[in-house]
Amino acid sequence: MDLKATTAGPAVRTSRAASVIGVASGIGAPDRRCGEGPPRLIAGGLLERLTARGADVVIQAILRPHYLTLYRAISDLSIRLAREVALVLESGRFPLVLGGDHSCAIGTWSGVASALARRGSLGLVWIDAHMDSHTRATSWSGMPHGMPLAALLGYGEAKAVTAQVASTVTEGTLDPRHVSLVGIRSYEPAEAELLDRLGVRIFDQRQVDARGIESVLDQAVAIARTATGGYGISLDLDAVDPQEAPGVGTAVAGGVPARPLTAALAACCGDESLAALEIVEYNPHRDRHGRTAVLVENLMAAVLAPTDD
């Protein structure tokens, strides 16, 4: 599969041969029950339903933390996840990481960047209510799920993990020129200052409301596709309006509407520049009537299984 950036234009929608990596860990979040999300979804028949919808999808692994010490556990889990992601890419399949709390992004995107380093830099679209760009020096909570993007950009203690995984990258796993955030509506000044200084493009929720998610995501993907190695999408479910996706740990009022987001992601189906997809922070204990679980399936199907719509 050629993952190099292609010329702009509508993608031909074809089914992807995808391998799912579940990250059954909530240790980086205040409510650790999001770690139960991936195994619950998989045991509940998620992959079978996706197959029935036309997806070519198999399970690669379900990873769990090994250590009691928080940052040692995050480091170890990130390195193991990065290796699994790289194995999927090397096999010619499409990695779909299903978290768990968002600290797993350190492993996901370090692994993708490392596997594709020979082709060039990696772009990333980060869809989230939060910036996730704290370090331990700026975070009042100390929770690692609020730090992964800073780590991937080369800041904070967790950057040592990215350096171990993506040894070909000297500063950070990601080049900020190819990174954008979508749906932001809750953050602290220190995070905004770091991203502004680095030149990371922010599309906050006000812009999504004004322009529509389809237009915003199209622009964010265009920024990510300037990277020559391909791009990824990291989607925290708390980006979605909690009225439609209640099953998350850190809900924020407002947000991206579910159906337009699903339709916007479907536009990426068949885009060979898209190297991987990550969907995180599903918390089954906070879900109501299975609405968030259904959304996870629909989001995955939008990228993995083309329709005639």
| Residue 280 phi, psi dihedral angles, 5° rounding | -135, 170
- 31 annotated active-site: no
Domain residue spans of the chain = 17-304
Q: What confidence score (pLDDT) does residue 140 get?
A: 57
Q: Mean per-residue pLDDT for 103-131?
A: 94
Q: What is the pLDDT of residues 26-35, one digit of tens each?
A: 998 889 999 9
Output the CA torsion sign for 143, 179, 245, 33.
negative
Q: What confidence score (pLDDT) does residue 75 get?
A: 87
- Assess contact for 132 and 184: CB atoms under 8 A: no
Contacts with 241 (C-beta within 8 Å, 6 or more apart), sequence order: 254, 255, 256, 257, 258
As a whole number of angstroms, the distance between CA 78 and CA 72 comes to: 10
- 145 annotated active-site: yes
- Assess contact for 253 and 205: CB atoms under 8 A: no
Q: Mean per-residue pLDDT for 114-134?
A: 93
Choice among 101, 134, 145, 241 that is catalytic: 145
Token reading at 106: 């350190």
Q: What confidence score (pLDDT) does residue 68 get?
A: 79
Choice among 84, 271, 278, 281 that is catalytic: 281
- Is the pLDDT confidence value at 262 over 60? yes
Question: What is the percent of the chain with per-residue pLDDT over 70, rounded to a whole number?
Answer: 86
- 218 annotated active-site: no
What type of residue is 98? L
- 236 annotated active-site: yes
Contacts with 162 (C-beta within 8 Å, 6 or more apart), sequence order: 106, 110, 151, 152, 154, 169, 172, 173
- Is the pLDDT confidence value at 164 over 90? no
Q: What confidence score (pLDDT) does residue 109 get?
A: 95
Least confident of 140-144, 184-188, 298-302: 140-144
If one looks up domain 17-304 in CATH, what number appears?
Answer: 3.40.800.10
Contacts with 291 (C-beta within 8 Å, 6 or more apart), sequence order: 244, 245, 246, 247
- Is the pLDDT confidence value at 141 over 70? no
- 285 annotated active-site: no
Contacts with 117 (C-beta within 8 Å, 6 or more apart), sequence order: 166, 168, 169, 229
- Is the pLDDT confidence value at 160 over 60? no
- Assess contact for 150 and 135: CB atoms under 8 A: yes
- 238 annotated active-site: yes
Q: What is the pLDDT of residues 54-109, one digit of tens each?
A: 999 999 999 999 987 888 888 899 999 999 999 999 999 999 999 999 999 999 99
Residues across the chain: 309
Choice among 84, 101, 102, 191 that is catalytic: 102
The three-class DSSP label of residue 151 is helix
- Is the pLDDT confidence value at 7 over 70? no
Q: What is the pLDDT of residues 172-228, one digit of tens each?
A: 589 999 999 999 999 989 999 999 999 999 999 999 999 999 999 999 999 999 999
Q: What confidence score (pLDDT) does residue 70 get?
A: 84
- Assess contact for 46 and 57: CB atoms under 8 A: no
Adjacent-strand bridge partners of 64:
none
- 281 annotated active-site: yes
Virtual torsion, Cα 194, 199, 200, 203, nearest 10 deg: 110
Adjacent-strand bridge partners of 277:
96, 233
Q: In what order do the strands lie in the sheet with 56-63?
A: 56-63, 17-23, 94-99, 274-280, 231-236, 123-127, 179-184, 201-204
Choice among 101, 130, 191, 278 that is catalytic: 130
- 90 annotated active-site: no
Q: Mean per-residue pLDDT for 143-150?
A: 79
